[in-house]
């Protein structure tokens, strides 16, 4: 059975973006970018909701940007090679190595989880919330940034029952960002 990890940049007070979706507070220096690239190499399939896919699709052509750094070019190649599935009823099309699914995301992801293969990552708090409610997420990766936003889009949705987690990895970065990876105790 494939594992699913939900991993995002998050503020110290638990938000993945400002209420308007702005990410101007995110710190991605060379050290963090290099680590994120290595994390992305371990992913067999990326699962996106519409919102985060539209942000991430920048990487579809980032390798053609002459101002891209070597680490950005590396990430673009990794991202382009990773199969992606976007769950959306409003998108008309997707591009590159991406498949659009309009049907029940939870049912499709439950089916994918049963197949052999590398870990899948879920991107986007709305899609992740639906998967959390069904206990389909095996690990949580939080890139905790040293900023308090006060409000915004939360990493964790309101939950009816607590999630009991076990810390399996931690890593500090020079920038003050701290990576925490937890596995569920299911």
| pLDDT single digits (tens) 9-41 | 999 999 999 999 899 999 999 999 999 999 999
Binning pLDDT at 50, 70 and 90, where does residue 186 land? low
Domain 4-150+177-184, CATH among 3.30.70.250, 3.40.430.10, 3.40.50.10540, 1.10.3720.10: 3.40.430.10
The C-alpha atoms of residue 128 and residue 181 are separated, in whole angstroms, by 16
Paired with 127 in beta bridges are none
Taking residues 141-148, report their average pLDDT. Answer: 98
Sheet holding 43-49, edge to edge: 98-101, 84-87, 43-49, 119-123, 4-11, 139-145, 178-184, 165-172
pTM above 0.85, yes or no: yes
The C-alpha atoms of residue 178 and residue 61 are separated, in whole angstroms, by 29
Task: State the alpha helices, DSSP H only, in the chain.
Answer: 30-41, 50-56, 70-81, 105-113, 125-133
Asked if pLDDT for residue 163 goes beyond 80, the answer is yes
* Structural domain spans, the chain: 4-150+177-184
Q: Does 161 or 9 have the greater pLDDT score?
A: 9
């Amino acid at each position: 059975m494939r594992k699913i990890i939900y991993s995002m940049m998050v503020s110290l007070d638990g938000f993945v973006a400002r209420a308007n979706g702005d990410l101007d507070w995110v710190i991605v220096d060379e050290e963090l970018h290099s680590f994120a690239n290595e994390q992305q190499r371990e992913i067999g399939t990326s699962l996106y909701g519409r919102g985060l896919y539209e942000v991430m699709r920048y990487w579809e052509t980032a390798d053609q940007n002459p101002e891209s750094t070597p680490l950005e070019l590396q990430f673009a190649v990794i991202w382009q090679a990773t199969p992606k599935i976007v769950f959306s009823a409003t998108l008309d099309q997707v591009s590159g190595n991406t498949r659009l699914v309009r049907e029940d995301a939870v049912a499709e992801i439950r089916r994918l989880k049963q197949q052999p293969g590398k870990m899948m990552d879920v991107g986007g708090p709305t899609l992740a919330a639906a998967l959390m409610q069904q206990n389909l997420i095996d690990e949580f990766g939080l890139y905790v940034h040293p900023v308090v936003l006060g409000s915004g889009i939360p990493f964790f949705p309101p939950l009816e029952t607590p999630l009991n987690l076990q810390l399996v990895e931690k890593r500090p970065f020079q920038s003050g960002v701290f990576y925490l990876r937890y596995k569920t105790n299911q």
